[in-house]
Amino acid sequence: MMAGHPTWPTQSEPSYTIEKTTASYSQFRKQLIADAEQPFSLEFPHQVASIFSSLNKRQERLGEDFERAIFGDLESLYEA
């Protein structure tokens, strides 16, 4: 290890520059800000219920062998 403070090379120019070619206002940005200010939608509970309903409809039984293995000795699964 070297003692003291490292000396960094000085730059005559910045490593990058930003040239603004468009306006800073955009409809997309306005919508993002509006959504952030009102994050809760009245449709949200219905959307979540729809997702769970869809998942529930697509579930399939595992079969007797799997159900016997899982539910036959359920207490030991929690003890392990």
54-68: pLDDT as tens digits: 999 999 888 888 888
Residue 10 predicted with pLDDT over 60: yes
pLDDT, tens only, 31-80 = 777 766 665 667 778 888 999 999 999 998 888 888 888 888 778 777 75
Would you state the structure tokens that stand for residue 39, as one six-digit string? 């994050």
Please check whether residue 34 is in contact with residue 40, taking contact to mean a CB–CB distance below 8 angstroms: no
Residues making up the chain, counted from first to last: 80
Residue 77 CA to residue 70 CA, distance in Å, equals 8
Ordered by start, the domain boundaries in the chain are: 45-80
Q: What single letter denotes the amino acid at residue 67?
A: E
The residues, any chain, with a CB within 8 Å of residue 5's CB and separated by 6 or more, are none
What's the pLDDT at 16? 74
